Amino acid sequence: MKKQHNISLYVNNKPGVLIRIALVFARRGYNIDSLVVSQSNDPAFSRMTITATGDPATLDLMLKQLNRLVDVIQAKDLTDLPVIKKELALFKVKISEETRSELLQLLHAFGVKPIDICNEAVIFSVDASGEKIDGIRQILAPFGLIEVIRSGKIIMARGSERT
């Protein structure tokens, strides 16, 4: 049975680290659904957040293997822990004289502000859970989505526990 997992890694900020981590996932048959890498508050280290789908029994073996890699300081599964998850999405939607008002009112109802408006299209950003972004995408589909670009999920442990 496959399940989606949220994995947090704290790694050395050096070239080649990402490929070695990606190979661990590939060898174990895990598909990486989302990957975000950013420098941590210490420039010598990076934080990776990986959302991957695969067999839960294999996950423990992967985490042990990841924690043995030289450049991995810590790898842990955050799937069942209380966390804050966010994603960023940019939507480009067709507009016309007839749909402009309706679309802008709909966006306002979701608390979304346009970041670029021209005669043919509007671009706006949404930072929310993946589920809310999926919902907004479904609602906007009838207007004519030109383009949707999503970041990966970023995850932070709640409370004082370190991610």
Question: CATH no. for residue 144?
Answer: 3.30.70.1150
Q: What is the pTM of this model?
A: 0.80
Within 10 angstroms of residue 108's Cβ, the number of other Cβ atoms is 11
Specify if 27 maps to a domain: yes
Q: Determine the structural domain holding residue 18 and report its residue range.
A: 3-80
Name the pairing type of β-strands 3-12 and 154-157: unpaired
Q: Are 4 and 131 in contact (CB under 8 A)?
A: no
Give the DSSP letter string of 5-46. Answer: EEEEEEEE--TTHHHHHHHHHHHTT-EEEEEEEEE-SSTTEE
For 103-147, the pLDDT digits (tens) are: 989 888 888 889 999 999 999 999 998 889 999 999 999 999 999
Q: Please report, as a single letter, which amino acid is at residue 81.
A: L
* Shared-domain flag, residues 91 and 63: no
pLDDT attached to residue 143 = 93
